[in-house]
Amino acid sequence: MDVSAVEAKEGEAALVVFRAVSRAPRPSRSTRGEWVRARLFWSEIAGNRSSFLEIWDADGERWGIFSPREVDAPLRWLRAETATPGEGAWLSLFLTVTRDGRHSVEYDYDHRPSWTNSDDPLAGHPGDSPADESLIVDLRRYPRRPEALPAWYPVERPAPDGPRVAAPRARADRSAPIAPPASVAAVVALPGWDVVWQAVVAHLDDVATPEVLGQLASTPAGDRVQETDDVVDAVWDAVWQELVLPLDGRGAVALWEPWARATDLDRDLELGSEVPPEARAADVGEPNAPLDLVLQDLGDVVDELVESALDARLDGVG
């Protein structure tokens, strides 16, 4: 494990949280003071993730905001990079940032995370999310020695005749390309968007393992919203990091403008001319500045493509 690389990724995640908290609007008629500390709870199990981001002011008042998607990529990297044979991977972390720019990270290997209890996210229990089945899949991915496994951790039980009972695997041809569904075919046909679609499919197949696809396919649609959102978020992050963040203003507009002309939404095409050509997507600053608005549109379209690709993959699970 490269300690300096780990520290760099921790710093990258902390900077994302710091920026998100600094830019977060205050509720109307709020009496809260300036924020002094923020804490992100983040957990990934079997490729799915959940997070809570809370903020405190100097008087101890606490409130929450949505966690920024951009924090997922460095934290997923950290979980994979810091996993060790026999000890497995951490189950959750707390990332704390302060107004003066300091940060700290606490990794937790021993407590069952709860993705539904923001007040006590280390108080998970059977029947909570993540489910036992997801924890078992995660243990296959990051095995632990018996003595390194917490007593609460669910394990596969032997069948009466002795063999282990394996979770059903998805039977989908994940090597096959996915034809763009009719709902997004027109977008994919626009200049530059075929490359985005190919990246979506490639990253989807990295994130949605056969086990994950099998779990999603065997769960009623109304009961898998969190798990589906986690897959979509992970793929969105990967595509965004690969194809969008490296763009300058000129490249972002080149991708956005054909979509803006083709969409039936009311888009001001003059917006593209207001984006500085040399601006960097990775360094977008002022909220609702022209580049920020263009990136918001691109983010929505990528999200739509990812959801469509996931639906198509699930249709192929038998």
The pLDDT score that the predictor gives to residue 69 is 85
User: Residue 205's pLDDT band (boundaries 50, 70, 90)?
Assistant: confident
* Residue that is last in its domain, among 148, 166, 201: 148
Q: Are residues 126 and 243 in the same domain?
A: no
Dist CA 269 CA 249 (whole Å): 15
* Residue that is last in its domain, among 98, 130, 148: 148
Q: Are residues 135 and 235 in the same domain?
A: no
293-318 b/e with 16+ CB inside 10 Å = b?
A: bbbebbeebbbebbbbbbebbbeebe
Q: Are residues 133 and 218 in the same domain?
A: no
- Does any domain span residue 48? yes
* Residue that is last in its domain, among 102, 125, 148: 148
- Does any domain span residue 175? no
- Does any domain span residue 164? no
Q: Are residues 244 and 114 in the same domain?
A: no
Expressed in angstroms, the distance from the first to the final Cα of the chain is 39
- Does any domain span residue 250? yes
Q: In the β-sheet with 48-57, what is the strand arrangement from edge to edge?
A: 62-65, 48-57, 35-45, 92-98, 103-108
- Domain of residue 228, residue span: 182-315
The model's pLDDT over 162-203, given as tens digits with 9 standing for 90+, comes to 444 334 333 344 456 788 999 999 999 998 898 899 889 988
The model's pLDDT over 223-264, given as tens digits with 9 standing for 90+, comes to 777 778 888 888 898 888 888 888 888 889 999 999 998 886
- Nearest to 234, CA basis, from 84, 73, 75: 73
The pLDDT score that the predictor gives to residue 168 is 37
The model's pLDDT over 104-148, given as tens digits with 9 standing for 90+, comes to 999 999 999 999 888 899 999 888 888 888 898 889 889 999 999
Of the segments 59-68, 86-95, 178-187, which one has the largest average pLDDT value?
86-95
Q: Are residues 140 and 229 in the same domain?
A: no
Q: Are residues 98 and 220 in the same domain?
A: no
Higher pLDDT, 310 or 29: 310
Q: Are 270 and 257 in contact (CB under 8 A)?
A: no
Read off the CATH number of the domain in which 111 is found. 3.30.500.20
- Does any domain span residue 155? no
- Does any domain span residue 172? no
Q: Is the pLDDT reported for residue 1 higher than 80?
A: no
For the chain, the domain total comes to 2
Q: Are residues 143 and 279 in the same domain?
A: no
Q: Are residues 90 and 200 in the same domain?
A: no
Q: Are residues 239 and 291 in the same domain?
A: yes
